Chains A and B, each alone.
Chain A
Amino acid sequence: MVLQAKDIRKSFGDNDILRGISLEVERGELISIIGPSGCGKSTFLRCLNFLEHPDAGNVRIEDVELTSPRHWHRRDEAQAHRLRAHVGMVFQSFNLFPHRSVLDNVMMAPVHVKKMDHEAARRIACELLKKVGLGAVKDRYPDRLSGGQKQRAAIARALAMRPSVMLYDEPTSALDPELSEEVLSVMRALDEEGMTQLVVTHDMRFARAASDRVLYLEEGQIVESGDPDVMFANPREARTRRFLRTLLS
């Protein structure tokens, strides 16, 4: 088990967004998280690397464990820092650093966070960019890339920190279908290499074809989880069925 989340709770004001979510992820799994808009998918993902501070709950990734404290202290931030060393994240809007070249985007964290030697970081970055198909454009600035290229660069940037778990928040929602395919094929390749990946997505075809497991979230809780073929063909819960039906119509 590479990741374990226990009873994650989060509310914004009076709105309980996450109402106790627990999840165990085995190494190498690809898990799709689906659910209606506003059900808390992004919030859950962001709680896993403490971009959002959960009100309660516990997250363990590899050997780093952090129980969300009532008051956030310096030592909790340090622990979150240790935990994030094992997690990479990819955003819907890419969030590449526009003032740096693609290569610099990928090298930046290894050099400054891991204090990696410049040459070594460069070698790793070039390798990763080649792997996601961006070897030829590594010296461009992000605004000179297509959307699909941007998202692949963002994946390379996250991979450069050698994470054990990758979190994706709707990585292809901003992309045309052909461009989405470029990104999804990178994710499939990573899956084959044994990367553990959690993907929030609205792309049901991808969820069904590529995932080892699908989670259906509604109103801050996991309603149903299981094998994608089973769940899409024959959902156990009425709420899941209703959600899937609205997607089809």
Chain B
Amino acid sequence: MTPTIARALGRFIVCGLLVLGSAASVLTSRPAQASSALVVPGAQNEHDLPWASDGEANVPYVFHDPAQEGRVTGFEYELMGAIAQHVHRHSRFIQNGWDGLIPGLSRGLYAMVIDGIEMTPEHKEAVLFSHPYYVTSDRIMVRRDQQGLESLAALNGHAVGTIKNTAAERLLLQQNNVFVRSYDEETNLFSDLKNGRLDAVLIDEPIAHYYGSDDMKLVGPPIGTVAYGIAFPKDNPALRDAVDHALTTLQHDGTLHRILARWNLWTPQMAAYTGDKTTLDIKPQAWEDYRRTMESMSGSSFHAIMYRYVRFIPLIGQGAVMTLAVSALAMILAVAMGVVLALGRHYGAISIKILCGTYVEIVRGTPLLIQVLFIFYGLPAFGIRLSPLVAGVLSLGFNYAAYEAENYRAGLLSVPRGQMEAAIALNMTHFQALRLVVVPQAFRTVVPVMTNDFIALIKDSSLVSVITLTELSQTYIRLSSTYYDYVGTGLMVGLAYLLIGLPFVRLARMAEKRLGRVVGQGHH
């Protein structure tokens, strides 16, 4: 499954889960809280203010600083720091994929979400919003040599890219004749503009500023108005009010102005919105730093690139450990459950047979992504809350158990009936016959398939990134989109996958060799 389809599906499911979730939260709505104490979902103590955003390819909102590995920054990041101070708490950033942000909020994993979320009517149905903290417009961006695409109407007949589920996308879709291409990530969007797959890009102004390069230009007037709000759980207006109060103060005392000016994002539009007509003598330091870093990287020497890759190794290592942990645990679960299911289906009473068969068919007949999202975001509606790691292991394990069960059943069927009969005639019990005679032979035919399955599982484990686990694929997305480097990081991550898979291939070879005296393999 490509990430794009996965994400589209994810959105679809997430909508469904939201409905489920809100139904459940109505059922379990808590008694009114004491007005004095704030209820902060996900907080680990009374000083904690956990909030989430998708820090992948999200310049200048919240992103990983390419100049300093491990540092998160962005104007929203700084704003959250200022808000936290006002409510006397410590800001704590939690990374979550875009599709998981709102479901995670409904689940109570964190207190709020800030990620350039537009305050559209659809969004207002799912969450509570603060006042807008930033107001901007959409802009058209083209290659420097491009002429005559200065208005929405002029875009007709052209291929125009934008980000999925945004005001810009809706605007484009309202045009009669524009070939709209919707992207998940800004980096891909702008590289397609650069390489000519797109004629123009319609996008929020801050993004245009930060992702545009010297061979691109902004054309035409600002289009429409886009307002970003911080999202809160529906059932927590008190928290929203507290943050609104802080936002108002930050507007009045100039803090918001200063933050935005540092990022070169203070615009006449913002001045009009806040009524703040002052001009602060502030250097757009953050903006300049970012531009400088990007420039230095685009022309870097071989040495600098190698140095950067060396710094990636620990990050990729961490991702690899997560991938390996999730895959190995899931495989253990899958094998154990698969054996039980296969024996149940092969030797069980009729009711057991039907039960096992139904499980296998249901699990094989539905996409893994849906199962992952359902177990993590859906089960809490029934009072079952699992940590991301447990949910990831269970969903992968349950899923692969169905496939393993079918493998093992085929393995059992491949053992001739005479083997069981000979064992019984030797006065073994049924269980002994299975353990000593049938299962070892079935296992032998099943090992090569199992090896394949495990390799596939290692790769499928990338799906658990939708439930906030940062494994290898997630690490790749993050590194590649932070550094605009898809090749080098891709090779490194690919190598990491191979290295993880290799020991299992070796292990399987050994097992095959040990067990590998297949009947009738010549030598007569």
- Taking Cβ atoms with an 8 Å cutoff, the residues of A that contact B are 49, 51, 81, 84-85, 87-89, 91, 93, 95-99, 108-109, 112-113, 141-144, 146, 154, 157-158, 161
Contacts and interface: CB of A to CB of B under 8 A. Distances in A.
A97 B438 CA distance: 9
Contacts of B519: 98, 142-143
B428 A113 contact: yes
A158 B518 CA distance: 23
A48 to B, nearest CB: 11
B515 interface: yes
Nearest to B514: A99
A141 B441 CA distance: 14
Contact of A113 (B426, B515, B524): B426
Contact of B427 (A97, A113, A143): A113
A146 B515 contact: no
B521 interface: yes
Contact of B422 (A87, A97, A144, A146): A97
A112 B419 contact: no
B300 to A, nearest CB: 58
Given A81-B427, A161-B426, A95 B520 contact: no
B428 A109 contact: yes
A144 B422 CA distance: 20
Contact of A108 (B421, B436, B521): B436
B440 A99 contact: yes
A49 B441 contact: no
Nearest to A89: B425
Contact of B436 (A49, A95, A112, A161): A112
A220 B347 CA distance: 30
Nearest to B430: A77
Of all A-B residue pairs in the complex, the 5 with the closest CB atoms, nearest first, are A95-B422, A109-B426, A89-B425, A95-B418, A98-B519
B424 interface: yes
B194 interface: no
A141 B523 CA distance: 11
22 contacts: A89-B422, A91-B418, A93-B416, A93-B418, A95-B416, A95-B421, A96-B422, A97-B423, A97-B441, A98-B517, A98-B519, A99-B440, A99-B441, A108-B426, A108-B436, A109-B427, A113-B426, A143-B521, A143-B523, A154-B422, A161-B426, A161-B427
A112 B421 CA distance: 16
B432 A112 contact: yes
Given A81-B427, A95-B422, A99-B440, 10 more contacts: A49-B425, A51-B424, A91-B421, A95-B416, A95-B419, A99-B444, A113-B428, A141-B517, A143-B521, A157-B426
A221 B428 CA distance: 31
A91 B422 contact: yes
Interface of B: 416, 418-419, 421-429, 432, 436-437, 440-441, 444, 515, 517-521, 523-524
B522 to A, nearest CB: 8
Nearest to A101: B517
A137 B499 CA distance: 42
Contacts of A88: 425
A143 B426 contact: no
Contacts of B426: 108-109, 113, 157-158, 161
Contacts of B423: 97
B395 to A, nearest CB: 35
A178 to B, nearest CB: 15
A146 B422 CA distance: 19
A26 B267 CA distance: 110
Nearest to B443: A99
Contacts of A85: 427
B416 to A, nearest CB: 8
Contacts of B515: 99
Contacts of A146: 524
B422 A113 contact: no
Q: Which of B421, B427, B428, B515 lies at the interface centre, i.e. has the most chain A CB atoms within 10 A of its CB? A: B427
A101 to B, nearest CB: 9
A155 to B, nearest CB: 12
B369 to A, nearest CB: 39
B317 to A, nearest CB: 40
A148 to B, nearest CB: 12
Nearest to A144: B523
Contacts of A143: 517-521, 523-524
Nearest to A110: B426
Contacts of B520: 143
A84 B433 CA distance: 15
A51 B428 CA distance: 12
A51 B517 contact: no
B272 to A, nearest CB: 81
Contacts of B425: 49, 51, 84, 87-89, 158
A97 B423 CA distance: 9
Contacts of B521: 143
A113 B421 contact: no
A183 B287 CA distance: 92
A196 to B, nearest CB: 16
Nearest to B516: A99
A84 B517 contact: no
A154 B422 CA distance: 9
Given A51-B425, A109-B427, A97 B524 contact: no
Nearest to B521: A143
B421 to A, nearest CB: 6
Contacts of B440: 99
Contacts of A161: 426-427
A113 B428 CA distance: 6
B202 to A, nearest CB: 66
A235 B355 CA distance: 58
Contacts of A98: 441, 517-519
A96 B437 CA distance: 10
B418 A112 contact: no
B418 A51 contact: no
A138 to B, nearest CB: 15
B297 to A, nearest CB: 58
Contacts of B444: 99
A97 B419 contact: yes
Contacts of A99: 440-441, 444, 515, 517
A96 B521 CA distance: 15
A72 B424 CA distance: 16
A112 B428 contact: yes
A87 B422 CA distance: 12
Contacts of A113: 426-428, 432
Nearest to A86: B427
Q: Which of A88, A112, A146 has the most CB of B within 10 A?
A: A112
A178 B289 CA distance: 92
